[in-house]
Amino acid sequence: MASLVPSLGQLVSDATCLFKKLFNDEAPKIAACAPGRVNLIGDHTDYNQGYVLPMALSLVTVVVGSASSGQEAIIVTASELADEPKKVDLSLPNEGFPSFPGLPHWANYLRGIMHHYRALPLPGFRAVVVSSVPLGSGLSSSASLEVAFYTFLQQLRPAPVPAAAKHPHNMMLPPPRFTFDDGDKVAKAIACQQAEHTHAGVPCGIMDQLVSVLGMEGHALLIDCRSLESIPVPLSDPGLVFLITNSNVKHSLASSEYALRRGQCEKAASILGKPSLRDATVNDLEESRAQLDDVTYRRASHVIGEICRTLKAAESFKNGSFQEFGKIMVESHNSLRDLYEVSCKDLDDLVCAAMEVEGVFGSRMTGGGFGGCTITLLKADAIHRTIQNIQERYSGTPTFYIATPSEGARVLNLS
């Protein structure tokens, strides 16, 4: 059956115990958490200013800690981000001395958050990070870490509220410094996205950070990645379940191929004379086909089609047309496999195995691709036989999670 995931309370307890063990039996004063996410449909559309339909998960990253009297930023991780509990002492940035990338690589996500956090200088602090979000699974462990750490810093040193705060609507890449109210959740997500760009070297879209911040219990979010507006989509039918299947396959080429795909999309938009592929239609693409090489054409074809599929899928789910939603999920997977070329045999096999089972509406790869997870919509009474069929048909060792739409980033009470 589905894997047992440590509860939020257990994660907080584990982090607190480790903090006391490492820091002279002192109890942490501050705690925050942020979820991973699963994308139901709309992959590789966010950095093209399109639409996505993710939901926040009960899988979370927890940060506990306290301010310290010194000028050290000591962080220990006991999650999959490190093979074993590891401690790192990060340089505290200030307005004259920003934080730069360095070693270990996993700590660059934290350096980036400190660099882009608006209230500088930061005080010294000690913190412990634990997580139930599996690393490299396509469930956004990185955004979960970024948003949880940012939320921790908000409690450590709240930022002053500016006189006027506006979202950077219609901007693909906002500037690396922000003048927004830290209570503005959209600005918070953008700061976390920029941290991943500048310090982790991943040119990600905004989806992961935004849903980690804005996640709503019992709902997916239809997010417009241009305006950064989101519409809640209820996922409350007790007869339906979204099943995540982790292939437990991780391909090292995922990061480099992600950047390559983004460049191909930007090239296609430029040839089409559009600000982004969000503005392009199928007719635009066909009219300019002679100017596009085959690979660039197929990349653009996926994105344009996926944006339309995402809007159609959200409407189908709201209308209770689950067969239609499932059909669109499979169309999305086929496009990611054939046009965008980010699937792999493991993911294809998982989708095929799921689709063989009665009671399954649809299945697709989710996330960046080249390994990671699939997401399957099925009837609740089909969970056991679906898992059984996948285990029998898939050559690897999959892990299963029931996807529960959950709350976004939040401060935790340690008392």
Q: Indicate if 236-402 has the same CATH topology as 8-231+406-412.
A: no
Q: Tell me how far apart the alpha carbons of residues 104 and 26 are, in angstroms, rounded to a whole number.
A: 26
pLDDT at 388 over 60: yes
Quick check: 245 and 389 in contact, CB under 8 A? no
Model confidence pLDDT, tens digit, residues 276-333: 999 999 999 999 999 999 999 999 999 999 999 999 999 999 999 999 999 999 999 9
Residue 72 zone, left/alpha/beta (φ > 0; ψ -120 to 50; rest): beta
Annotation: CATH topology of 236-402: Alpha-Beta Plaits (3.30.70)
pLDDT at 2 over 90: no
Quick check: 147 and 189 in contact, CB under 8 A? yes
pLDDT at 386 over 60: yes
Residues known to be catalytic: 208
At residue 137, the pLDDT reads 83
At residue 85, the pLDDT reads 65
At residue 120, the pLDDT reads 80
Which range (139-148, 163-172, 336-345) has the least confidence?
163-172
Interstrand relation of 125-131 and 73-77 (parallel, antiparallel or unpaired): parallel
Burial of 371 (0-12, 13-18, 19+ CB in 10 A): buried
Model confidence pLDDT, tens digit, residues 168-200: 443 333 433 333 344 589 999 999 999 999 999
Q: How many CB atoms lie within 10 A of CB 270?
A: 11
Quick check: 38 and 366 in contact, CB under 8 A? yes
What tokens does 91 get?
């340089």
Q: Tell me how far apart the alpha carbons of residues 345 and 98 are, in angstroms, rounded to a whole number.
A: 43
Q: Helix, strand, or coil here: 219?
A: strand
> Which secondary structure element, helix H or strand E, spans residue 266, and what is its range?
helix 254-272
At residue 71, the pLDDT reads 79
pLDDT at 82 over 60: no
pLDDT at 214 over 50: yes
Section 45-52 average pLDDT = 96
- Residue 106 CB contacts under 8 Å (≥ 6 apart), including other chains: 77, 81, 82
pLDDT at 215 over 90: yes
Model confidence pLDDT, tens digit, residues 225-279: 999 999 999 998 999 999 999 999 876 556 678 889 999 999 999 999 999 999 9
Q: Tell me how far apart the alpha carbons of residues 128 and 126 are, in angstroms, rounded to a whole number.
A: 7
Q: Helix, strand, or coil here: 396?
A: coil
At residue 236, the pLDDT reads 85
At residue 172, the pLDDT reads 38
- Residue 306 CB contacts under 8 Å (≥ 6 apart), including other chains: 41, 42, 43, 44, 45, 50, 332, 335, 336
Q: Percentage of residues in the chain with pLDDT exceeding 90? A: 74
Specify the CATH architecture of the domain 8-231+406-412.
2-Layer Sandwich (3.30)
SS (H, E, C) 43-87: CCCHHHCCEEEEEEEEEEEEEEEEECCCCCEEEEECCCCCCCCEE
Section 49-62 average pLDDT = 97
DSSP summary character for residue 139: S
Residue 338 zone, left/alpha/beta (φ > 0; ψ -120 to 50; rest): alpha
Q: Where do the domains of the chain lie?
A: 8-231+406-412, 236-402
